Amino acid sequence: MARDGLLPPWAAKISANRRVPYITTIVTGAFVALWALIGDANETYNLTNIGTLFAFALVSAGVLVLALIPNRAALGRSSCVGMGGRAVSVVAVRLRDVRVALETWIRFAVWLAIGLALYVGVRIQTQQIRNREPRAGSGTLH
């Protein structure tokens, strides 16, 4: 996110010895700690479970899509996904079998929509800024 310009410069600083964005790590850790103090534990467990499940399913779906691509050389990668990867993908993508309360799904959808709106908004803004900056080798603004 820092390399894509989706974070402000102060938040995109990388530590010299560990090569991680330390400011965003500290801010996120403080937010999670505060939420753990004041938030409802059951709600936190449910949202954590659904978020983790969604992330796993998304990655598994990506693995399944990569396994179905006949010519991986076009992607610049030579790795292959065996039957184990396909089986994990098929099992993980079956979100409809998960027993989670409707309220949790609604909250998850709301948070997902908020996150996507923020991502798209920041992405549009940074793209507009990049389009206004002069490109190397050209004397005009784009």
Q: How confident is the model at residue 38 (pLDDT cuts 50, 70, 90)?
A: very high
Q: What is the mean pLDDT of the chain?
A: 75
- What is the rounded average pLDDT of the residues 33-55? 86
Q: Percent of the chain at pLDDT above 70? A: 65
Residue 59 and residue 6 in one domain: no
pLDDT score for 142: 45
Answer whether residue 121 shows pLDDT above 60. yes
Contact 58, 89 (CB under 8 A): no
pLDDT score for 141: 47
Residue 140 forms part of a structural domain: no
pLDDT score for 31: 92
Answer whether residue 100 shows pLDDT above 90. no
SS (H, E, C) the chain: CCCCCCCCCCCCCCCCCCCCCHHHHHHHHHHHHHHHHHCCHHHHHHHHHHHHHHHHHHHHHHHHHHHHCCCHHHHCCCCCCCHHHHHHHHHHCCHHHCCCCHHHHHHHHHHHHHHHHHHHHHHHHHHHHHHHCCCCCCCCCC
Residue 119 forms part of a structural domain: yes
Structural domain for 69, as ranges = 40-132
Residue 109 and residue 53 in one domain: yes
The sign one gets for the Cα dihedral 33, 37, 41, 43 is negative
Answer whether residue 90 shows pLDDT above 60. no
